[in-house]
C-alpha cells in the first residue's frame, strides 16, 4: 500500500511538472487523468478492490472529463 501510494504521488508530480507548453485541453486531460487515477486507487484501497484496475478506470475517466473541460475552456466547439 505504501509503495503504491508513493508511486502514484511520484507520477502525479512528474505529470503536473510537464504542463508548461500544453494547450488547455492537454492540461485538462493530464490533470484529470492523474487526479482520477489517484481517486480510483484510493477508492479501490478502501473497498478492497484491485488497485491497478481502480487506478486505470479512474485515470481513464478523469482524462476524458479533464480533456472535455479543458476543451470547453479554450472555446472550441
Given a cut of 90, whether residue 15 has pLDDT beyond it is no
pLDDT digits (tens, 9 = 90+) for 31-52: 999 999 999 999 999 998 888 8
Q: How far apart are CA 45 and CA 14, in angstroms?
A: 23
Q: Is the model more confident about 75 or about 3?
A: 3
CB 64 within 8 A of CB 42: no
Q: How far is CA 54 from the centre of its chain?
A: 12
Q: Is the model more confident about 54 or about 3?
A: 54
DSSP-H helix ranges across 18-50: 24-47
Given a cut of 90, whether residue 20 has pLDDT beyond it is no
Indicate the average pLDDT of the chain.
Answer: 84
Amino acid at each position: 500500500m505504501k509503495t503504491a501510494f508513493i508511486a502514484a504521488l511520484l507520477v502525479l508530480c512528474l505529470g503536473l511538472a510537464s504542463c508548461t507548453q500544453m494547450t488547455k485541453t492537454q492540461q485538462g486531460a493530464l490533470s484529470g487523468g492523474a487526479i482520477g487515477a489517484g481517486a480510483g486507487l484510493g477508492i479501490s484501497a478502501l473497498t478492497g478492490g484491485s488497485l491497478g484496475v481502480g487506478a486505470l478506470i479512474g485515470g481513464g475517466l478523469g482524462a476524458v472529463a479533464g480533456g472535455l473541460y479543458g476543451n470547453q475552456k479554450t472555446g472550441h466547439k
